[in-house]
Structure 1
């Protein structure tokens, strides 16, 4: 019951404050072996989520991944391909790997928030290739993501060039009316699940 009340309160707060989401861009990457270039038969998969706050200039990553054949050696965002949702590109983010990404595992979870204004977030080669400053690199990076020309790639011992990857695509956020319906539904579930007195 307490969980339903907490969810109800959260949904109400989100419905009442839609402006809080106005400066955020949401992306999702569905990662698999067949999505690699060239494709492979890895059973590995993951659905990663990214939140870009273009006011605070941050990027929040939540990257779960499962059932890789090889053990992890590196992970990056690559950008920017010549065409949306296809092709390959150079590494845009930190090399040799994103800081703190789990190493030597076949299943894991990565959670991190980065400053897009921090030079250390980017591959130095990406900065050089995109105007030579962090500001110009950030603009190119965000433009590439908005154009579906960036992908998240997990490299492993079995597939050094990448075992699973997925292009970052916009993940729509529900409208305030949808949050209101969610709040109402959770409230009804909460009342329905309440013990009845005799």
Structure 2
């Protein structure tokens, strides 16, 4: 198989995936005490799902949690640690907690969409550190993409955080389609070389 045919096939696979390119990225994590820094023995668990919409410049926060030892005092996203999946860092999102987040409870759910062009969606120190609201948005997305941002639920028994988890993007279906197309091209080249 000629190199130009292989190149054309790869180009076709890339172009075919382009219309499906999303303007949203979804990030998820599981929340637990052992993921805290320092780790704790809380039996509490939870999940966080963050959906960033780049057309609307919004961030939807969905969290659920149960079994906490303490009563909730705050929840927010911290960003951006020096090492992916480790360490601690200051709060990036609104202070002292997400707007209307359940407080004084040991279990609950939360679902709210934030306007990420509004400075009130961020910790003012995070905006200052990144030069502007736009800079803060870009830094937060980079932290989410790089695994250096984490969701954290704080309680009265664990003021530094009872359960947390580092957020990671969910691979999109078109990423799998491109992977399969690439593997198909490699298989075709291997068959032709053997034959």
TM-score normalized with structure 2 length: 0.78
Give the aligned partner of residue 161 of structure 2: 162
Gap runs ≥5 in structure 1: 1-17, 179-198
SS for the counterpart of 2:30 is strand
More helix by share: 2
CA distance in 1, matches of 2:176, 2:47: 26
What stretches of structure 2 of length at least 5 have no aligned partner? 1-17, 178-195
The 3-state SS of whatever aligns with 2:139 is: helix
Paired residues of 2:151 and 2:166 also in contact (CA < 8 A): yes
Cα RMSD after superposing both structures: 1.8
Matched, 1:99 2:99: yes
CA offset digits 1:29-57 (Å, max 9, x no partner): 11000000000000101121111111111
In the other structure, the counterpart of 1:56 is 56
Instruction: Mark the structure with the bigger radius of gyration.
Output: 2
Change (3 A) 1:176 1:170: closer
Counterpart for residue 150 of structure 1? 149
How many residues of Structure 1 are paired with residues of Structure 2 in the alignment?
160
Aligned residue number for residue 69 of structure 1:
69
Tell me how far 1:176 sits from its aligned partner.
Answer: 10
What corresponds to 1:15 in structure 2? none
Specify whether residues 20 and 63 from structure 1 end up closer, same or farther in structure 2 by C-alpha distance, changes over 3 A only.
Answer: farther
**1:1-198 counterparts in 2 under 5 A?**
22-131=22-131, 133-175=132-174
Q: What CA distance in whole angstroms lies between the structure 2 residues aligned with 1:161 and 1:177?
A: 38
TM-score scaled by length of structure 1: 0.77
Q: Is the 8 A contact 2:21 2:174 kept in 1?
A: no
* Aligned counterparts of 1:176 and 1:52: Cα–Cα separation in 2: 18
